[in-house]
Structure 1
Amino acid sequence: MTETIRRTSRVRASELLGRAWLNTGGKQLSLEELRGKIVILDFWTFCCINCLHVLDELRPLEETYAEVLVTVGVHSPKFEHEADPEAIAAAVERYEIEHPVLDDPELITWQAYSARAWPTLVVVDPEGYIAASLSGEGHVAGLTSLVEELVAEHEAKGTLHRGDGPYVAPEPVSRTLRFPGKAVPVPQGFLVADTGHHRIVQLAADLETVIRTWGTGEKGYADGPAEAAQFNEPQGLTLLPAELAEQVGYDVVVADTVNHRLRGISTVTGEVTTLAGNGVQRLLDTERTRAEQPTGSLGTDPLNVSLSSPWDVLWSATLGRVVVAMAGTHQIFSFDPASGELAVCSGTGLEGLTDGAPEQAWYAQTSGLAEDSAGDIWIADSETSALRVLRTSADAESPTVETIIGQGLFDFGFRDGEPAYARLQHPLGVTCLPDGSVLVADTYNGAIRRYRGEHSAADGTLVPAEVSTVARGLKEPSDVLLDADGESLLVVETNAHQLVRIAVPEEYLTVDEGATQTQRPRTPVAAGEFGLTVSFQAPTGQKLDDRWGDPTQLQVSATPPELILSGAGTTEGLNRKLQLNPAVPEGVLHITARAAACDGAPGEEIPMHAACHLYQQDWGIPVTLNPEGDTALTLDLRGVK
């Protein structure tokens, strides 16, 4: 029998409980009603780029097995805003989810299935038993094998029921823009990423009149004339300098997010071309010898390099390159239009909040970029609710990142004041103003925030750095820029499907609605020696890539750091012994597991050009120290039990 990701024990699946159901025509569903179908429970939250990847990974599987398979999205929010019913409904529409979704704001179903990470996938067989549990993305091959196995088994037993599932499509709504993402000014108005319509739109200065468009309006991938080209949820846009644009034949660079590509647009000819990316999501460098030095050049053949959800792009006059917020790998890339060179500019690819040199920095879903007059690049680092700045040194190849606002992956809020005290909630956009201040599209707080660094007042006194609020009450603003008049701001108000102007206030608000953390159940653990194990098994048709040593890696840290007396850090292998500090009553264990596998059969040598895959998952496990608590923790990267 071939290897599968299937459980060997029979555990009855728990009932699906939550606040409401979406995409069911108002009907409440139960597992009993789904008996006879193979059910995939997708525990997700709409802020999470890995969850968005899984939505796209599951689509072909859902289509192929439509008669026997039902996917149920269980929306278990990380951020406070994600528990808002209107925001959830908008996200389901925005990401074109075509299966039932359970709204689980209190994490009732999340807890019942012992989910610990976003995303988590649980497969329930036609008799209502859990067949597999998986963390992270990249599981389609294993899921396909399991579904085929379950179909054969339950068809033979007579327990498989073919037919339509419970999904009910919502009524379509006609809009000029649909969930716009980013915008840039052009001589006649603005170029807008009309993300939900999968196209680029030029709006007149009145913000309503459509001058021209690029893209058919249907998601897809195609180069060519404006009316025939296709995009898939484009986000960031940037303009090239005129001289460079004339040289390369395009003047606009687009982050074509779900296509995992950079695209070029000529506003002169209307032609759309692909600049970088092969359409395959970036999971692992084909040369694993790069693992210890993840930054640097990726060569000058950009169409053969994999990218991962580029979210924003920026022409940097200082670097002389396009800077790319590579949200899917939590890194900053650069692209040289003249030579075609792609490079990893900063970031290890691990998700978190760590400052420093390119090979040390951790980001978390980089989503917005802006350059100030000094040439420093400001970053909206969404999953850490952080505003960060990439300081460009004399050696432009080694910029250093510094966090201005933000504390970590699970810390957020709405609080003005000193930068160390201030809090944001999943910001997506950033812009720099002539006075040296920085504006942030504080997306999940529905606000535009302002950071002003330490500066001298008119009378010469030193004014300390401060965070304030420019405007609030907006519906998920994802970008902000200074209008052409220099006296107002232009905001891309995503969930209102519009661009709006707001006046720059003479005085800024000071808001303090507190700081908070993602609320999840805490795991009782005992102080002293504590064992940590991550289970992993390569799917059928793949084997661990041990050509350069152990292909697995475990990174462990804690908040507060004092929680771990010994055992923190990064090592090979998926087992670790920690010493937990009895003097720290509670905290969060941060765990990142990686495993590299390549196509090939067990026992055989991996072919030179075999496709390789990186399986990675990040966990944040809230714990409370208790003498009666657990002395070990087992996590499942591929759910083999």
Structure 2
Amino acid sequence: MDTNKHPGDLSSLDKLRLCQFELSQRINSILDEEEKKIHVVKYINDIICSNTEVYCPDFPLDLDWVNVEQPLSLSKHLNRKIVVLDFFTYCCINCMHILPDLHNLELRFPENRELIVVGVHSAKFENEKVLSNLMSAVLRYNISHPVVNDPQGWLWKELQVICWPTLVILGPQSQVLFTLVGEGEREYLQLFCETAVEYFRMRGSIISSPVPVKLLRESLPVSPLLFPGKVCVDDVGKRVVIADSGHHRILIMNREGVVEHVIGGKEPGYKDGNFLQAKFRSPQGIVWKNPSIVYVADTENHLIREINISLRVVTTIAGTGYQGTDKVGGKQNKQQPISSPWDLCLGCSIGSEVKDVLFIAMAGMHQVWMLFLENAKWLKGSSYQKGTCIRFAGSGEEVNCNNSYPERAGFAQPSGITIAQEEKLQCLFIADSESSTVRQIMLKDGAVKAVVGGERDPKNLFSFGDKDGKGIEAKLQHPLGVSWCSVKQLLYVADSYNHKVKVINPSAKTCTTLVGMGKAGYNSRFRFNEAEFNEPGGICVTDRGETLLVADTNNHVIKVINLVDDTVSEHPVLIVSDETDSCEHLKLQDNFTFTSSSFWDTACIIHIPTVEMKQGGVLILMLDIHLASGVFINDEAPNKWQLNFSDSSKLTALQMNADINIPIQLSVPVEPRTISPVKVDVDVEVHLFLCKKERGVCYTKIVLFKVVIVICKTGQLEASLNLKCLVE
């Protein structure tokens, strides 16, 4: 049977797209922009005058919307406007790549609203169909245009869309004008849209009326972390580095949660320099080389960055700052373009014990790359100079294809990478997110092999689910993180869209659920059978396999999984600095003073006047924290206070880490053996989880009271001190 369509069998949309293809062929060889516009105008005119227009149906009334005050209608709110429909699914790296193109287009039509972009979310994964998960993605990727959630793909089917991303450009009467498929079409998008606006404006067919847009990001939670992507611990387990992706910064803190360095932050950008100057754009993968060097996958800048903690500087060591299309590589450092690096791990060159190769999960290329940090040899004895960045495995085609030859294998948006350097293994493990698999690459020959998940058909990227099992019987859903435990010879996986952490035995190829309920949720400290996550994106083994750190991305926290007592708790993250920002949200009662903080308006330091105490005396500290009108405490969250002493041998506390019950009383006895005069600094750290009624948002505040106690003969035996402030 002849399955090819004959001209008479073409649907109206097919005919329209054939005409557009012919238009594209004509203007490809034209350099003059005005001449290109002439051809586009003729194309639009031919469509309208021939009465062969195809109209887009209006949005169904039962669909949910994001970034708007009310559901939009093509016949009402968007009538007589040029509308760009962006068919996307938020897991798709190619869909992320065109967001800058859409943003650039929106900047050209900012206020008059003659043109508007509407995201049509047509989910691939079941998890993506849930409205709350889509809302988190809209916030995470800073999408500033209206988005409609079409979980059943109704509009996708009506307009015969076949892949993500697809852009459909509509005229002022909702007639289909152009269709652009895939990424890398910025030039066509700009040409078609600007010409269409000019064409219909001259004919009085479009208007510049407002659209009821209300950005979801106005309700972003105020918290120390915002959509953390990855987490990593140094070799000795004393310091933690976090990719605070939503804040576009890197945090380096000790295991107690006190942040020692804030690098980047607030506004996205690309800039090398000292820690105050440096800028990142949604960084993800991070890895320590030694106590002074951290490497960062600066994802949306398409760069690899180096943080030198000793020198307090950030430098670029790979990438041009623009998305690359080179699928082979071979250039040096900043001459080599790369695309959306998502995770990193450090390994050795063949036959060497020196950690001098940086492996990169290159999500944007669907490949795994390498950056040589020293002169080294690799497969088949090939030599590479320091700074060379090359493809290690993957053809660049988005498939789930294993192969003995690394360049013939295929990945589908690899997003997590870890290394097992033991002699019996010597491999990389890859969280291949879009194929919902975990794969391995053998270091000795580059062979790519299956571990768990997916199925045998390399082109089927829809074999996902939530099922424990062996090999392809096990099912994952868009895993983003992996971490190897050499002590236990086990692989831990952040099974992101199943909201779980799973454990894989590579030798048996078995995958079982470790912790997680299988649905999005949040709790701060629970047993394994009760703990909840929300799209965890990063995972790290620490303490010789006794604990795991998990970047619980949509909950904006780092979770600690204790494998000894089977509990899950929230890791503290305390940023205390006096470099930037003010504490205008705190109004001090009495005459205490406060300093500034770099906690992005979530923490403040309040200095209390010195208190003199005698040996054996008792000081009562009263926490008296008032809440502004409309603000209330979230009783279900882990509100608490805790103490820190500069010299714990001089003071003791009756209780520690008590749940907040405002106001509460804290008693600190002074022991008789203390030799006077002695100065002791006491920090009273109060963690509050608050909500605002009128906005329906929740956020965190940390108040740090700094009390100075001098123990001397002339001091008091009994004293009390009110620690008072108003929190807004």
Say if 2:359 is the partner of 1:323: yes
1:391/1:485 CA distance change after superposition, 3 Å:
closer
Asked if 1:175 corresponds to 2:218, the answer is: no
Residue 84 of structure 2 aligns to which amino acid in structure 1? Answer: I
Deviation at 1:107, TM superposition (A): 1.0
CA 1:341–1:166: 2 relative to 1, 3 Å: same
> Are the counterparts in 1 of residues 318 and 333 from structure 2 also a CA contact under 8 Å?
yes
Is contact 2:273-2:314 (8 Å) kept?
Answer: yes
Please give the per-residue CA displacement for 1:52-91, whole angstroms capped at 9, x wherever unaligned: 1111221111111223210000111000100111101100
The CA deviation at 1:164 is: 3.9
In structure 1, give the amino acid aligned to 2:190.
Answer: T
- Taking structure 1 as reference, are residues 312 and 4 closer, same or farther at Cα in structure 2, changes over 3 Å only? farther
Candidates 371, 395, 404, aligned match of 2:451: 404
Q: Deviations over 1:277-307 (max 9, x none)?
A: 1112112x4xxxxxxxx64x513x2212211
Paired residue secondary structure (1:56) = helix
- 2:438 partner letter: L
SS in structure 2 opposite 1:50?
A: helix
After superposition, the C-alpha distances for 1:554-591 in whole angstroms (9 at most, x for unaligned) are xxxxxxxxxxxxxxxxxxxxxxxxxxxxxxxxxxxxxx
Query: How big is the shift at 1:481?
Result: 1.4
In 2, the alpha carbon distance for the partners of 1:344 and 1:38 equals: 41
Residue type of the alignment partner of 1:228: Q
Q: What's the counterpart of residue 119 of structure 1?
A: 165
Determine if contact 2:322/2:337 at 8 Å carries over to the other structure: yes
SS of the aligned residue for 2:98 comes to helix
- Among candidates 149, 156, 172, match of residue 202 of structure 2: 156
- Asked if residue 260 in structure 1 is aligned to residue 302 in structure 2, the reply is yes
- Give 1:188 shift: 4.1
CA distance, structure 2, for counterparts of residue 507 and residue 302 of structure 1: 44
Structure 2 equivalent of residue 367 of structure 1: 415
Q: CA deviation at 1:309?
A: 0.3
The answer (yes or no) to whether the contact 1:20–1:28 under 8 Å persists in 2 is no
1:105 equivalent in alignment to 2:155: no
Match among 6, 10, 21 for residue 53 of structure 2: 10
What's the counterpart of residue 437 of structure 1? 490
Pairwise CA distance, 1:29: 3.6
Does the Cα contact within 8 Å between 1:382 and 1:428 map onto a contact in 2? yes
Secondary structure at the aligned position of 2:268 is classed as coil
Shift of residue 485, structure 1, vs aligned partner: 6.0
**Structure 1 residue 206, shift from structure 2 partner:** 3.4
**Distance in 2, Cα, partners of 1:318 & 1:425:** 33
Corresponding residue SS for 1:413: coil
Structure 1 residue 4: Cα displacement:
4.2
Cα distance in structure 2, aligned partners of 1:81 and 1:203: 32
Measure how far apart 1:484 and its partner are.
2.7
Match of 2:83 in 1: 39
Corresponding position of 1:189: 239
5 Å-filtered alignment, 1:492-571, equals 492-504=551-563
Cα distance in 2, alignment partners of residues 465 and 224 from structure 1: 45
List aligned pairs for 1:80-91, cutoff 5 A. 80-91=126-137
- Matches of 1:483 and 1:111, distance apart in 2: 47
State the distance in 2 between where 1:128 and 1:240 align: 55
Q: Percent identity?
A: 34
Q: What's the counterpart of residue 428 of structure 2?
A: 377
Q: Which residue of 1 aligns with 2:251?
A: 201
469, 494, 499: which one aligns with 1:446 = 499
- State whether structure 2 residue 83 is matched by structure 1 residue 25: no
The letter for the 2-side match of 1:278 is T
Secondary structure at 1:377 match in 2: strand
Which residue of 2 is the match for residue 612 of structure 1?
A: none
Q: Match for 1:344 among 370, 373, 391? A: 391
Q: Deviations over 1:92-119 (max 9, x none)?
A: 1111110000011111111111111111
Return the alpha-carbon distance in structure 1 between the equivalents of residues 58 and 466 of structure 2.
Answer: 35
In the alignment, what sits opposite 1:582? none
- CA shift, 1:120, in A, is 0.9
Label 1:149 to 1:85 Cα distance change in 2 as closer, same or farther (>3 A).
same
- Greater CA radius of gyration, 1 or 2? 2
Alignment-mate amino acid for residue 309 of structure 1: S
Whole-angstrom CA distance in 1 between matches of 2:515 and 2:96: 29
1:227 Cα deviation (Å)? Answer: 1.1
CA distance in 2, matches of 1:34, 1:373: 57
Report the alpha carbon displacement of residue 359 of structure 1 after superposing the two structures with TM. 1.7
Contact 2:74–2:174 (CA under 8 A) maintained in structure 1: no
The one of 340, 343, 346 equivalent to 1:309 is 340
Aligned partner of residue 420 in structure 1, secondary structure: helix
Contact in 2 for aligned 1:214/1:270 (Cα 8 Å): no
Map Cα deviations across residues 171-208 of structure 1 (whole Å, 9 max, x no partner).
Answer: 2431110000001113543110000000001233234x
Which amino acid counterpart does residue 244 of structure 2 have in structure 1? D
| Higher RCO (CA 8 Å, separation ≥ 6 residues) | 1
Quote how far apart the aligned CAs of 1:24 are: 0.3
Tell me the equivalent position of 1:59.
Answer: 103
1:212 to 239, 255, 261: 261
The secondary structure found in structure 1 opposite 2:465 is strand
Task: Specify the code of the residue in structure 2 equivalent to 1:147.
Answer: C
SS at match of 1:128: coil
Separation of aligned partners in 1, 2:278 and 2:209 = 36
Give the equivalent residue in structure 2 for 1:585: none
- What TM-score do you get using the length of structure 1 for normalisation? 0.71
* SS of equivalent residue, structure 1 residue 33: coil
- Candidates 66, 69, 77, aligned match of 2:123: 77
Letter in 1 for 2:357: R
Q: Is 2:419 aligned against 1:388?
A: no
C-alpha distance in 2 between matches for 1:380 and 1:465: 14
- SS of the counterpart of 2:280? coil
Structure 1, residues 142-195: CA drift from partner, whole Å, max 9, x if none? 111111211221111111212544321232431110000001113543110000
Mark the runs of 5 or more structure 2 residues left unpaired by the alignment: 1-34, 351-355, 375-385, 517-531, 568-728
> Alpha-carbon deviation of 1:228?
1.3
Stretches of structure 1 that go unaligned for 5 or more consecutive residues are: 243-249, 286-293, 455-463, 509-641
Distance 1:373 1:343 in 2: 20
Cα distance in 2 between the residues matched to 1:412 and 1:10: 39
Give the match's secondary structure for 2:77. helix
Shift in alpha-carbon separation, 1:476–1:129, aligned structure 2, 3 A = same
Displacement of 1:505 after TM fit? 6.7
Give the whole-Å Cα distance in 2 for the aligned partners of 1:166 and 1:63: 18
SS in 2 for 1:313: strand
CA contact (8 A) 1:428 1:478 kept: yes
Amino acid at match of 1:499: I
Contact 2:77 2:211 in 1 (8 A): no
